[in-house]
Structure 1
Amino acid sequence: MKNFALPRSPKVIAGMVILGIFLLLMVIGPFIEPYNPSSPLFLQNLPPSSAHWLGTTELGQDIFSQLLDGARATMVVGLVAGLVATVLSIVVGVSAGYLGGKTDEALSLTSNVFLSLPGLPLLIVIDSYLPVSKRSNPLVIGGVIALTGWAWGARVLRAQTLSLRNRDFVEASRIVGEKRWRIMAVEIAPNLLPILASSLLFTVLYSVGAYTSLAYLGLTNTSVWNWGTMMYWAQANNALLANQWYWFVPPGICIALVGTSLALLNFGIDEFINPRLRAAGVRVRGPKSARVSRPRLGMTPVLRDTSGVSS
């Protein structure tokens, strides 16, 4: 893989920068907020100024502090739900595709059931049964969202696993007596990494949208700040009718920017998967550098018959 270089597309770089900023705010946001986001310390409905960059709310709370504080819960829920849903899709999809038979039928049926259910209504029903104390925990909410977002990824991974299960390196692993779990984890899963990365990005985006939608509808703890909660309180206090754009526009822009960054990063994954797109990022080295280097599939070596090759 000497000729392979990471994509140098401006789109990918822009996506990494934007997402990196929000991940940084997730960590340091609550520590750099200028005021307590929940304390009504100031005059009501102040417009943006040097003292309050995004103005104040109907209760006299600093909106910029709420925006910084809300970044943590929003991003944590997105990442937790994305990771949990991706793990579930790996377990279900790869197991169904490789094991086949009754296992495939049962897991495929489960995936189809979850795919047939509308995501947001199902999420609302599950969330309504949670205790109020649990609705303020981003980890719990992330786990609930993951239950509604894993099925489509499992279907994709099952299809890809079916195309890999009869490859030479998988057959070689079976012949030498490798256990099934090792074949799935070591031989098949590494060849699914680009698809897994794309699935993770999409699931994080879905999770951020689902979480902020629940918060906007008032179905989460409205005392815990996230970008959806900000829009909930803005709507409840008629900010749109009062032309208080600085209350509801900034959280909407942040949600859109997170989605944009994930979409831009997905361009990099497309370049990795598609050799024609990846050719633009191949480093030029020697007369044969125009050829795209392909990674070797599998970990188990395959013995090939070379008796007919002259020395």
Structure 2
Amino acid sequence: MTNLAPRTEPNVPDATMALATAAAERGRKPRSPWRMMLPTMTPWLAFGLVLVGGIALFGIIGPLLVQDPTTIRDSGLQPPSAEHILGTTQTGQDVFAQLAFATAGSLQIGLIVGVLATILSAFFGILGAYIGGFADEAFSLFSNVFLVIPGLPLVIVISGFVPQAQRGLWTIAVVLAITGWAASSRVLRAQTLSIRNRDYVAASRVAGERAGRVIAVEILPNLLPVLASQFVFAVIAAILGEAGLSFLGLGASNSSTLGTMLFYAQNGFALSLGAWWWFVPPGLIIALFGMGLSLINFSIDEIINPKLKNVRLHRKRARVAARLERSRVTRERKAAA
């Protein structure tokens, strides 16, 4: 008996999409759980890593290769030349040497503040949410107090009360860390409250595991992408905050940072004198380092929010499907010709 049902042709775009998906996933090995917590390599992530790695390498190796940045010469405000790559300041100091030491100082402050702020936010956010009860309410109240206080005015007030002789690198780092952990603590608290009610955490508590081990083994690994994102954000905020304080004259008095370079360039009337080589390099280093960390943070956000990764993968598969469709149309035209 003849089948009179109409025949349906396969949907070409859907079939092409399936082929593209299979071609993209063919030969891939299952990724380990630790690899799943790492961001997927993308051009933006690679560009961010190159920027951050290059500036960090310059801050680490640069001070070992340049001359003394405090040496005063007779050649003041000289433009870039073979002798001085980035010219000299008003007192004849080499700008490139100052830039190397200033980059190292800003990186140290960013690293110290990132570590301290992450520890504080993890303590008040994760520990309080896991314990619950009065401890959670007390920690939340303490976090909210720091959250509603404007950050930059508080930093300016605290730095203003610290004597200039005691206003060193560690002092500025501690001040920035104390005023910059509250927002991250709220995020970690919300994530911990969600993880605390899951079955494997409840099984560990029923089995009699200590609270410290449950947090370290069951909860903390799930929060590593969030902690990494908060750490990167804290480093960016610390470098920008230190630059703002130093530009106002409230920075570290005995340390060289990118903010102090901008401060001395302002006091030396570099802008009005046209000495762009004095203030542009430190500002450019701050901008490029912040952009690199932001690109890295965007890639970490894909781990925290899988929807962002799915959107990117969908666009990638759509591009592969479009290329396959164009190649199929080209082959058909050549065959018809």
| Residues 104-126 of structure 1, C-alpha deviations (whole Å, 9 max, x = no match) | 11101110110111111111222
Out of 77, 80, 87, the residue aligned to residue 112 of structure 2 is 80
Which residue of 2 is the match for residue 44 of structure 1?
76
Which residue of 1 is the match for residue 171 of structure 2?
140
Out of 102, 107, 112, the residue aligned to residue 70 of structure 1 is 102
Out of 112, 123, 128, the residue aligned to residue 91 of structure 1 is 123
CA distance in structure 1 between the aligned counterparts of 2:112 and 2:217, rounded to whole angstroms: 24
Which residue of 2 is the match for residue 285 of structure 1?
none
CA distance in structure 2 between the aligned counterparts of 1:185 and 1:92, rounded to whole angstroms: 15
Amino acid at match of 2:69: P
Percent identity for Structure 1 against Structure 2: 46
SS in 2 for 1:56: coil
1:16-27 matches, within 5 Å, as 16-27=49-60
CA distance in structure 2 between the aligned counterparts of 1:222 and 1:85, rounded to whole angstroms: 23
SS in 2 for 1:241: helix
1:244-263 matches, within 5 Å, as 244-263=275-294
| Residues 163-209 of structure 1, C-alpha deviations (whole Å, 9 max, x = no match) | 11110011101110111222122211111111111000000000001
Give me the TM-score of the superposition, normalised by structure 1: 0.85
CA distance in structure 2 between the aligned counterparts of 1:93 and 1:204, rounded to whole angstroms: 19
CA distance in structure 2 between the aligned counterparts of 1:112 and 1:31, rounded to whole angstroms: 44
Alignment length (residue pairs): 280
1:189 corresponds to 2:220: yes
Which residue of 2 is the match for residue 299 of structure 1?
none
CA contact (8 A) 2:105 2:256 kept: yes
After superposing the two structures, state which structure 1 stretch, 62-71 or 35-44, moved more: 35-44
CA contact (8 A) 1:47 1:56 kept: yes
1:226 corresponds to 2:257: yes
Go from structure 1 to structure 2 and tell me whether the alpha carbon gap of 1:69 and 1:42 turns closer, same or farther (over 3 Å shift).
farther
Go from structure 1 to structure 2 and tell me whether the alpha carbon gap of 1:118 and 1:277 turns closer, same or farther (over 3 Å shift).
closer
Residue 45 of structure 1: CA displacement?
0.9
| Residues 201-245 of structure 1, C-alpha deviations (whole Å, 9 max, x = no match) | 000000001111111111124453211111101111111111211
Q: Which runs of 4+ in 1 moved over 6 A?
A: none
Which residue of 1 is the match for residue 30 of structure 2?
2
Amino acid at match of 1:37: P
1:115 corresponds to 2:143: no
Amino acid at match of 1:258: F
CA contact (8 A) 1:42 1:61 kept: no
Give me the TM-score of the superposition, normalised by structure 2: 0.79
Go from structure 1 to structure 2 and tell me whether the alpha carbon gap of 1:175 and 1:10 turns closer, same or farther (over 3 Å shift).
same
Residue 277 of structure 1: CA displacement?
4.3
CA contact (8 A) 2:172 2:252 kept: no
Bigger proportion of residues as helix: 2
Which residue of 2 is the match for residue 307 of structure 1?
none
Amino acid at match of 2:268: N
CA contact (8 A) 1:76 1:139 kept: no
Structure having the higher Rg: 2
Out of 22, 45, 52, the residue aligned to residue 12 of structure 1 is 45
CA distance in structure 2 between the aligned counterparts of 1:59 and 1:85, rounded to whole angstroms: 38
Which residue of 2 is the match for residue 208 of structure 1?
239
SS in 2 for 1:74: helix
Which residue of 1 is the match for residue 319 of structure 2?
none
SS in 2 for 1:240: helix
Residue 130 of structure 1: CA displacement?
2.7
1:57 corresponds to 2:89: yes
CA distance in structure 2 between the aligned counterparts of 1:268 and 1:214, rounded to whole angstroms: 30
CA distance in structure 1 between the aligned counterparts of 2:306 and 2:272, rounded to whole angstroms: 51
CA contact (8 A) 2:167 2:253 kept: no
CA distance in structure 1 between the aligned counterparts of 2:176 and 2:191, rounded to whole angstroms: 25
CA contact (8 A) 2:165 2:253 kept: no
Which residue of 1 is the match for residue 306 of structure 2?
275
CA distance in structure 2 between the aligned counterparts of 1:223 and 1:147, rounded to whole angstroms: 21
CA distance in structure 1 between the aligned counterparts of 2:253 and 2:84, rounded to whole angstroms: 22
Residue 132 of structure 1: CA displacement?
3.0
Which residue of 1 is the match for residue 334 of structure 2?
none
Amino acid at match of 2:122: I
CA distance in structure 2 between the aligned counterparts of 1:271 and 1:2, rounded to whole angstroms: 19
CA distance in structure 2 between the aligned counterparts of 1:177 and 1:221, rounded to whole angstroms: 49
